[in-house]
């Protein structure tokens, strides 16, 4: 089989090689899947560069989430069997023709899911659902501000927020990206390159501020969000795609009784895997009802990974990038 392999950390164009390698043998409790598609996430780029908090042992195949058909089950597998369609997650290994996944981190995929949707569904939708439902307890009628609204997690946050009955505001950096936010259901949108989102949110809420703010950007965006959050608002720290870890003025947290809430979804694999499996069924139900639909910017062949990572690094995408293997159709 073929896989993207790197022997050192660095820029994708310099360290990644698409090459033949040995077929994988599943160990105890593992599944080997024939990868039909894989989703790209910003942490994948950081992992390749050696900048992510978790560094796989070299050499390795990057990529954390994939969808495919089970080809072999290791000893002690009890949930799935060969031939099942599953999406799954691992620390690495997705950007290849085969991948090993722990059975407990694999999820049956309904037959109505096309490859492109299944390949990029798991991480972004789970992240937004956990953040909005389990962490922030977003309620119907509340207001939700989503930063980076046209991105992979941003589009899912808008859709899930609307499905939960919230009034949703979204920020993005171009008019084209704002249109994506509108298509996802945002009630109000703002180009943060041209306008001050703190003033707009206050205007949209008659001075109250947003009840929940969803921020995958970090840096100055998170710091300024404390100026337009409501009394007893919940500020969700999703990530730092802007490249800067912010420092928040503690006096604003105190005076407004703000809750600053972190969400590192991957840790639920260890602490509460049952909740992930239950959440997946709720997400499938929303998908079936047409409440959520993955926004796919581009589906490229697996051997075009480097080009896709370049798009990701330049933040030139709306929604999700996915890779498919040539026999996925």
Query: In this predicted model, what pLDDT tens digit does every residue of 53-96 receive, in sequence order?
Result: 889 999 999 999 999 999 999 999 999 999 999 999 999 999 99
**Among the listed ranges 130-144, 215-229, 235-249, which one has the minimum average pLDDT value?**
235-249
**Among all chains, which residue has been given the structure tokens 């800067």?**
244
pLDDT given for residue 251 in this prediction: 84
Indicate whether 248 pLDDT > 90. no
CB neighbour list of residue 142: distance below 8 Å, 6 or more residues apart: 166, 167, 211, 212
User: What is the pLDDT averaged over residues 225-242?
Assistant: 93
For the cut 70, the answer to whether the pLDDT of residue 328 exceeds it is no
In this predicted structure, the answer to whether residue 42 has a pLDDT above a threshold of 90 is: no
pLDDT computed for residue 176 by the predictor: 94
Look at residue 280 in the predicted model and tell me its pLDDT: 97
Query: What residue has token string 């085969």?
Result: 98
Give the phi and the psi of residue 127 in degrees, each rounded to 5: -60, -50
Mean pLDDT of the region 95-118: 96
pLDDT of 243 over the 90 cut: no
* More reliable by pLDDT, 165 or 266: 165
Contact predicate 158/129, CB 8 Å:
no
Burial 226-241 (b: 16+ CB within 10 A, else e): bbbbbeebbbbbbbbb
Is 90 exceeded by the pLDDT of residue 129? yes
**Residue 316 binned pLDDT confidence (cut-offs 50, 70, 90):** confident
Structure tokens at 221: 């965006």
Could you tell me the two tokens for 95?
Answer: 């950007």
Nearest to residue 325, comparing CAs of 297, 301, 304? 301
Is pTM, for the whole model, over 0.85?
A: yes
The 3-class secondary structure across the chain, one letter per residue, is CEEEEECCCCCHHHHEEEEECCCCCCCCCEEEEEEEEEECCHHHHHHHHCCCCCCCCCCECCCCEEEEEEEEECCCCCCCCCCCEEEEECCCCCCECEEEEEHHHEEECCCCCCHHHHHCCHHHHHHHHHHHHHHCCCCCCCEEEECCCCCHHHHHHHHHHHHCCCEEEEEECCHHHHHHHHHHCCCEEEECCCCCHHHHHHHHCCCCCEEEEEECCCHHHHHHHCCCEEEEEEEEECCCCCCCCCCCCHHHHHHHCCEEEECCHHHHHHHCHHHHHHHHHHHHHHHHCCCCCCCEEEEEEHHHHHHHHHHHHCCCCCCEEEEECCCCC
User: Which residues, in sequence order, are bridge partners of residue 203?
Assistant: none
Q: Which residue ranges make up each domain of the chain?
A: 2-121+294-324, 129-266
Q: What's the confidence (pLDDT) of residue 329?
A: 45
Asked if the model's pLDDT at residue 222 lies above 70, the reply is: yes
Residue 314 has pLDDT above 90, yes or no: no
> Confidence band (pLDDT; 50, 70, 90) for 327?
low
CATH for 129-266?
3.40.50.720
The reported pLDDT for the residue numbered 29 is 97
Nearest C-alpha neighbor of 307 from the set 318, 295, 292, 317:
317
Cβ atoms of residues 190 and 171 within 8 Å: yes
Burial 79-108, CB ≥16 within 10 A → b, else e: ebeeebbbbbbbbbbbbbbbbbbbbbbbbe
Q: How many residues does the chain have?
A: 329
Q: How many CB atoms lie within 10 A of CB 46?
A: 17
Instruction: Please tell us whether the domain made up of 2-121+294-324 is placed in CATH 3.40.640.10.
Output: no
Taking residues 171-197, what's their average pLDDT?
96
């Amino acid at each position: 089989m073929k896989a993207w392999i790197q022997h050192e950390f660095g820029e994708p164009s310099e360290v990644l090689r698409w090459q033949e390698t040995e077929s994988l043998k599943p160990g105890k409790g593992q599944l080997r899947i024939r990868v039909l598609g894989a989703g790209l996430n910003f942490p994948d780029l950081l992992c390749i560069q050696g900048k992510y908090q978790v560094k796989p042992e070299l050499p390795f195949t990057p990529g954390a989430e994939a969808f495919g058909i089970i080809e072999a089950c290791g000893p002690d597998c009890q949930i799935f069997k060969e031939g099942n369609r599953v999406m799954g997650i691992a620390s690495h290994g997705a950007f290849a023709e085969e991948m090993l996944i722990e059975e407990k981190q694999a999820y049956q995929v309904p037959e109505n899911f096309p490859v492109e949707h299944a390949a990029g569904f798991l991480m972004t939708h789970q992240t937004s659902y956990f953040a909005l439902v389990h962490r922030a307890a977003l309620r119907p009628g509340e207001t939700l501000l989503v930063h980076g609204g046209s991105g992979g997690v941003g589009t899912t946050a808008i859709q899930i927020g609307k499905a939960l009955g919230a009034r949703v505001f979204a920020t993005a950096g171009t008019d084209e990206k704002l249109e994506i936010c509108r298509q996802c259901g945002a009630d109000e949108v703002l180009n943060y390159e041209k306008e001050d989102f703190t003033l707009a949110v206050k205007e949209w809420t008659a001075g109250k501020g947003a009840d929940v703010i969803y921020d995958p950007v970090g840096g100055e965006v998170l710091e300024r969000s404390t100026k337009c959050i409501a009394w007893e608002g919940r500020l969700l720290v999703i990530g730092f795609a802007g490249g800067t870890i912010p420092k928040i003025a503690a006096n604003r947290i105190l005076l407004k009784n703000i809750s600053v809430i972190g969400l590192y979804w991957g840790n639920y694999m260890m602490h509460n895997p049952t909740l992930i499996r239950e959440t997946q069924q709720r997400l499938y139900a929303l998908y079936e009802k047409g409440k959520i639909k993955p926004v796919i910017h581009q589906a490229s062949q697996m051997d075009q990974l480097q080009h896709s990572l370049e798009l990701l690094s330049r933040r030139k995408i709306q929604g999700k990038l996915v890779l498919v293997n040539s026999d996925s159709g």
